[in-house]
């Protein structure tokens, strides 16, 4: 296959083919990613249930089906860093760790596909991955050929040990190589993050032409403060990010922390609500065998998922915050336009105390219409809101009230 890839790749460079010509991610992708919860755990003797291995992926795939995650829309199951041997094969191919993946990646991909799920994997644009396993640099054709032969559906391409300025050409070029394989592979880029954090403003028009999803900022961590910091950065930079999001190409504020030790139930509801407002990928990173039912309920909330997957495909915005020029706002309003004139609005309380706040149409950036309001986290009677009225919300400490506003005809 490599020679045919080389031919099509050369044509792609001359003809200007974009990496997005794959028909994927028409709504933000949903799935599971190993990194936040399992990191680079490779000692299967000491931690047999937590090491990055085919056993972990098979177990997670089984649970995604049996526990209703696939039915709710979570389709991708993706292995992050540390799945490789430290050296390539004699002919230059990527080699999965022989002890932890004894049956190889094609067999694992087949198992994932047999469950109705899609198979994802991690690599790095540089000479090495972030954990110092082989990167793709200098092996692009072979690696794309290998990924396609494993029937990969999703590639997370990191950017450690790489030329940051060169990413503006290198990432699009590798996307064209992926396309040339003929295998539709969702392309998750880290190029904007590495440029943003090195003082380079990414060309987001080019990013959106070249990637299905892209990381903007630092890795999210297992803490409320980390979720807050990501929200703040996205809100502060939304004017240059949001215009480039839409069907087939999305900003990625990183994984869902939900279900791990770092968030309360209220804080988990905040992340799920804001990520759905942002039209962000919903990638879980949690041990599905150990998740508390309260967090599982948040991840499987079909009303919130419907906001995430809304066909209008428009990224929402932070439209209001108390003390707008303060670096530590007490409350925020996040607003997303939906299909059929509807709106989704998340009222977020950043304080560690319970609050009651009343908001005007202007605060919420609502058109002057009459609305039926549905609480997306609680089964309560729907209510109406008319122009000139204010909406009063009661919000738990570091919590959220999340509503859908449907215009009355």
The DSSP secondary structure of 372-383, one letter per residue, reads: EEEESSS----E
Q: Which of 62, 163, 219, 266 is catalytic?
A: 219
Place of tokens 């706002």: 329
Pseudo-torsion of CA 76, 206, 238, 351, nearest 10°? 40
SS3 label, residue 189: strand
Q: Which of 81, 145, 158, 310 is catalytic?
A: 158
Ranges of beta strands (E only) in 263-362 are 282-284, 317-321, 331-337, 343-349, 355-359
C-alpha torsion sign, points 16, 311, 115, 77: positive
Residues 6+ apart with CB under 8 A from 65: 115, 116, 117
| CA separation, residue 299 to residues 32, 69, 169, 292, 374 (Å) | 11, 8, 37, 11, 18
Catalytic, 219? Answer yes
Integer Cα distance of 131 and 123 in angstroms: 11
Per DSSP, helices labelled H in 315-395 are: 361-364
Question: Which amino acids are annotated catalytic?
Answer: 158, 219
């Amino acid at each position: 296959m490599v020679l045919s890839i080389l031919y099509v790749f050369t044509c792609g460079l001359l003809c200007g083919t974009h990496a997005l010509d794959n028909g994927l991610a028409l709504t933000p992708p949903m799935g599971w990613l190993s990194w936040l919860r399992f990191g680079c755990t490779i000692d299967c003797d000491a931690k047999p249930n937590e090491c990055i291995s085919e056993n972990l992926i098979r177990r997670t795939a089984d649970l995604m089906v049996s526990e209703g995650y696939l039915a709710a829309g979570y389709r991708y199951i993706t292995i992050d860093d540390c799945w490789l041997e430290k050296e390539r094969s004699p002919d230059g191919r990527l080699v999965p760790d022989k002890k932890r993946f004894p049956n190889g990646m094609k067999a694992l991909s087949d198992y994932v596909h047999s469950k109705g799920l899609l198979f994802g994997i991690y690599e790095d644009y540089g000479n090495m991955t972030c954990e110092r396993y082989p990167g793709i640099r200098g092996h692009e054709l072979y690696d794309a050929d290998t990924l396609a032969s494993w029937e990969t559906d999703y590639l997370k391409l990191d950017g450690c040990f790489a030329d940051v300025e060169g990413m503006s050409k290198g990432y699009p070029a590798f996307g064209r190589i992926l396309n040339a394989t003929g295998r539709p592979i969702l392309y998750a880029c880290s190029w904007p993050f590495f440029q943003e954090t090195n003082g380079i403003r990414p060309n987001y028009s080019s990013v959106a032409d070249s990637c299905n999803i892209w990381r903007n900022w630092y890795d999210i961590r297992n803490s409320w403060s980390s979720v807050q910091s990501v929200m703040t950065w996205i809100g502060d930079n939304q004017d240059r990010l949001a215009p480039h999001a839409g069907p087939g190409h999305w900003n990625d504020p990183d994984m869902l922390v939900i279900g791990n030790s770092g968030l309360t139930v209220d804080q988990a509801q905040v992340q799920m609500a804001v990520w759905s407002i942002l039209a962000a990928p919903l990638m879980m990173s949690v041990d599905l065998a150990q998740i508390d039912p309260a967090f599982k309920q948040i991840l499987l909330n079909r009303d919130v998922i419907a906001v995430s997957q809304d066909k209008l495909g428009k990224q929402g915005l932070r439209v209001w915050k108390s003390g707008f020029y303060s670096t530590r706002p007490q409350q925020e309003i996040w607003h997303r336009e939906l299909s059929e004139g509807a709106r989704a609005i998340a009222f977020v309380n950043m304080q560690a105390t319970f609050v009651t706040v009343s908001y005007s149409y202007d605060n919420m950036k609502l058109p002057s219409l009459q609305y039926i309001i549905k609480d997306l986290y609680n089964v309560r009677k729907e209510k109406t809101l008319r122009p000139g009225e204010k909406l009063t919300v009661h919000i738990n400490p570091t919590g959220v009230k999340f509503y859908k506003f449907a215009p009355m005809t």
